[in-house]
A = this chain, B = another copy of it.
């Protein structure tokens, strides 16, 4: 319960309209897109308009020891925006301006509340592209995306969010406002705090401005679908494409459960009995796209694909990608609860990981569909379940534990793109050991000694 003075001070700084305290308002900030997570209502939701107001809110929170949970669209998938200890939710949705697209320096400067797709629409006017492409591109904010270091479908060729963040304005936990980085490609001045704040899930500081790198949009693209009756052959095809020095923009895999579910949902012509399909897109200059598409087709055939289909026009291409993008919504319709993980392995381990997931599903008698970014080893094993079924949920938790153990055993990582948040905290020491987690904690405490910024995420007070 918030002290009355805190509320009064917040209203004094932000005005009555930007301070929400009605129960029905608070309720909508009690959860995010993560499945099977306990809801927690904040005490107040504030929506500042300026960086100075954000700094003022931080100073008030510091004075009264009230936690702050910075929030964009709340699409995150590891419980990262849930206000687990009450306090202030700081909505950045008023920070919704694209401040500049700089064609000469290939940068854009945006406020953190800008939707990723809005930036891309603006960049497209100049023939430019902001490559990070998470599934939530049309709803997630840039601030949330930077804080989670979003991945998405273009990771293999273009990298992920951290590869495109050049500068940040940050409000620190002590209320100081600092700029790190800028518009220069090269910058080795001091520690790389732009990188440290990227993916820090709002636990180290509050982002109030972002400079991103843009690239020239590729002039052409071509998509292919390959059908496999064997997981190892699909894995072999992925390796063969890379060994032939082709780096597709996108290289996705859908397993049999996903294929069947998606096909029933969108009728894209996927083969219901296939063990796996690969979806591949090459992009770039038109001559290169042509050459690479022919080569990829040949490799897929050589590696034993039952069928390979090149999308002959934009309509066919769009249908293929609609199928891929429908994987999650289609699966989500099958059972009330969809536990979506993002265990990630080196790409050469994709077949091993897929087989392990399958045997974990059998062992625990669960329905697990797997799809994801095969090209960068980032799979989404998706457990279809019902959080009201206590006994089944026990098996779900066991299966999740085993999925993470398998990923780590294969040289992978706990999270490829969804972050640690609350959901994966308990696994952290399996990847880094206790000494590694202690190092993370010391960094947290260096920048937020009182655990006021998004407390209870990534690392907890010892």
Contact = CB atoms under 8 A, between A and B. Distances in A.
Contacts of A198: 192, 195
A155 B446 contact: no
A247 interface: yes
Interface stretch (A36-44, A84-92, A373-381, A393-401): A373-381
A139 interface: no
Nearest to A347: B105
Nearest to A345: B184
Nearest to A174: B435
Contacts of A186: 151, 155, 160, 344, 373, 376-378, 413, 416-417
Interface in A258-302: 284-285, 287-288, 291
A104 B348 CA distance: 6
Interface in A158-205: 159-160, 162-163, 172, 174, 176, 178-193, 195-196, 198-200, 204
A413 B199 contact: no
A401 B216 CA distance: 36
A42 to B, nearest CB: 25
Interface residues of A, number: 91
A149 B188 contact: yes
Most buried by B among A163, A344, A428: A344
A182 B104 contact: no
Interface in A400-447: 411-420, 424, 428, 431-433, 435-437, 439-440, 442-447
A35 interface: no
A209 interface: no
A199 B188 CA distance: 6
Interface stretch (A18-26, A237-245, A303-311, A359-367): A237-245
B348 A102 contact: yes
Interface in A116-144: 127
A102 B377 CA distance: 15
Given A151-B186, A287-B287, A162 B446 contact: no
Contacts of A56: none
Interface in A194-236: 195-196, 198-200, 204, 215-216
A282 to B, nearest CB: 12
Contact of A242 (B103, B435, B458): B103
A284 B414 CA distance: 35
Most buried by B among A102, A190, A204, A239: A190
A418 B188 CA distance: 7
Contacts of A200: 191-192
Nearest to A163: B163
A156 interface: yes
A422 to B, nearest CB: 14
A438 to B, nearest CB: 8
B182 A412 contact: yes
B196 A192 contact: yes
A413 B192 contact: no
A148 interface: yes
A420 B189 contact: yes
23 contacts: A103-B242, A104-B239, A105-B347, A107-B346, A127-B245, A151-B188, A155-B185, A160-B186, A178-B432, A178-B435, A182-B412, A183-B346, A184-B376, A186-B413, A186-B416, A186-B417, A188-B199, A189-B431, A189-B432, A190-B420, A190-B431, A190-B458, A191-B444
Given A184-B376, A442-B446, 12 more contacts: A163-B163, A178-B435, A183-B411, A184-B413, A185-B347, A188-B418, A191-B196, A191-B199, A191-B204, A193-B440, A285-B291, A443-B443
